[in-house]
């Protein structure tokens, strides 16, 4: 669409919705009960299938895709163009969520206006349109995006969290790095929330068109389109996802026990010959890079050490997340599985895991954060609440060889790539451009 559309003022649309709508609007696709407390003032907007929204009432709601902490997402078609279908993201109605949504719109607008010929531009889910809808619960910022397929969490779950074949891993990681190269070098944007749920697989138009046909047919029958046909569009489900992963036997990378050999887990033949295109989603936490940035960002399993200690952060935090994700794509396990412990606070435990994998954290890095004194001894730079015997170096390549029966040369090659991304010193961490030139990706 023309960029002028983004420059026009946000249009407020008053939608008269009564309490009766609550009885019919929420055909939850994820089999979870409707929490009516989330549809109170400041909460989610009540939406019904076949309802029309938009500046010209051009978007017709076909099915619900999912619900996250901050928004609901719906599958809709553009009545002015029967061939056009979109994912409609509707944020909660409180002032807090409005501010977050406006920031996301601003970030996406900046990305949209970039040079589409640049490498990585096509690795970002672009904003199509945005507008305001009003309901009993407040004013809701609405954004439309292209319809996407499953998230990478969905794919790993479908594969029983056994990881993907290495050729597929390289394909995915290369595309993520291309997207980050564009965001960092051309847009000056830090994504700040890379995780499985925010990386999505593209689908072709014919598949989307078939979903529209089925959705309209199912709506006439008064039933919901099967969840498997739809995308959840990168909703924020950190807590729910963690619960799901634990229930499905989700594994973690670092264990005290001797590795048990697993000959098939990291090389599922199901994924060997699949060629997929992915895009980076959800810019709700993204921000322009600037000096002196501090604060808590990133899902905990993908959180960089500089964020944990509240030091200044920049583009390298995204590369740390890519390192964690690459291990996860390869094994189905978290590299840093952070859990609550009676003996050790969560952040201390997390830094202990990082210390083990990275074989230490340089003192000058450990002590540069606002919270460093909480975690590290000022004289020695050692961790305060972690016993030394718990900090024995844990080699990633040992995990690949001993647990997954990889060839040593393959294990060391990927380990070399990962260690450039999970380098404790953010200034020494590989950039997206540097990572794209790594030997592992080209092997």
Distance CA 72, CA 161 (A): 27
Asked if residue 92 belongs to a known ligand binding site, the reply is: no
Query: Residue 185 gets which letter from DSSP?
Result: I
The CA dihedral of 329, 332, 336, 340, to the nearest 10 degrees, is 140
Look at residues 113, 112, 111, 119 and name the one whose alpha carbon lies nearest to residue 190. Answer: 111
Strand, helix or coil for residue 404: helix
Cβ atoms within 10 Å, residue 424: 21
Taking CA 392 as the corner, what is the angle to CA 252 and CA 337, rounded to the nearest 5 degrees? 20
Q: Are the beta carbons of 332 and 155 closer than 8 angstroms? A: no
Distances (CA, A) of 394 to 2, 213, 357: 52, 52, 5
Strand order in the sheet with 12-14: 12-14, 127-135, 138-146, 81-91, 71-78, 59-67, 52-53
> At 140, which helix (H) or strand (E)?
strand 138-146
Q: 43 with 92: CB under 8 angstroms?
A: yes
8 A C-beta contact, residue 330 and residue 414:
yes
Q: In DSSP terms, which residues pair with 140 in a beta bridge?
A: 133
Q: Which of 112, 74, 85, 98 is CA-nearest to residue 10?
A: 98
Q: By the 8 A CB rule, do 97 and 91 touch?
A: yes
Reduced to 3 states (helix: H, G, I; strand: E, B; else coil), residue 201 is strand
Closest CA to 98 of 68, 134, 58: 134
Residue list for the binding site: 89
Residue list for the binding site for ATP: 89
């Amino acid at each position: 669409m023309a960029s002028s559309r983004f420059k026009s003022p946000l249009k407020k649309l008053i939608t008269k919705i009564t309490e009766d709508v609550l009885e019919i609007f929420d055909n939850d696709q994820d089999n979870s009960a409707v929490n009516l407390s989330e549809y109170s003032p400041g909460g989610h907007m009540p939406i019904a299938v076949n309802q029309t929204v938009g500046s010209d009432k051009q978007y017709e709601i076909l099915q619900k895709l999912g619900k996250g902490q901050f928004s609901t997402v719906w599958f809709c078609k553009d009545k002015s163009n029967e061939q056009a279908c979109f994912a409609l993201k509707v944020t909660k109605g409180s002032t807090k969520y409005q501010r977050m949504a406006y920031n996301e719109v601003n970030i996406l607008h900046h990305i949209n206006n970039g040079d589409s010929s640049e490498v990585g531009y096509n690795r970002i889910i672009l904003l199509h349109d945005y507008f305001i809808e009003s309901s009993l619960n407040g004013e809701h910022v609405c954004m439309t995006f292209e319809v996407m397929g499953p998230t990478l969490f969905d794919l790993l779950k479908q594969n029983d969290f056994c990881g993907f074949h290495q050729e597929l891993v390289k394909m995915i990681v290369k595309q993520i790095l291309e997207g980050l190269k564009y965001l960092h070098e051309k847009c000056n944007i830090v994504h700040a929330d890379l995780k499985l749920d925010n990386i999505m697989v593209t689908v072709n138009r014919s598949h989307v068109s078939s979903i529209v046909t089925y959705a309209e047919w199912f709506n006439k029958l008064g039933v919901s389109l099967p969840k498997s046909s739809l995308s959840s569009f990168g909703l924020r489900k950190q807590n729910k996802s963690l619960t799901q992963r634990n229930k499905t036997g989700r594994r973690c990378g670092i264990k005290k026990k001797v590795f048990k050999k697993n000959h098939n887990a990291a090389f599922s033949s199901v994924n060997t010959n699949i060629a997929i295109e992915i895009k980076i989603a959800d810019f709700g936490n993204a921000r322009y890079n600037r000096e002196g940035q501090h604060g808590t960002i990133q899902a905990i399993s993908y959180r960089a050490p500089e964020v944990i200690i509240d030091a200044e952060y920049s583009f390298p935090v995204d590369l740390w997340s890519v390192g964690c994700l690459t291990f996860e794509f390869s094994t189905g396990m978290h590299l840093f599985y952070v859990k609550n412990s009676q003996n050790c606070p969560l952040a201390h435990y997390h830094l202990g895991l990082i210390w083990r994998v990275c074989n230490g954290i340089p003192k000058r890095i450990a002590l540069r954060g606002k919270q460093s004194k909480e975690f590290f001894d000022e004289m020695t730079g050692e961790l305060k609440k972690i016993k030394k015997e718990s900090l024995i170096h844990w080699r990633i390549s040992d995990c690949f060889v001993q647990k997954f029966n990889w060839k040593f040369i393959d294990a060391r090659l990927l380990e070399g790539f990962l260690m450039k991304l999970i380098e404790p010193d953010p200034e020494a961490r590989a950039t997206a451009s540097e990572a794209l030139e790594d030997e592992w990706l080209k092997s």
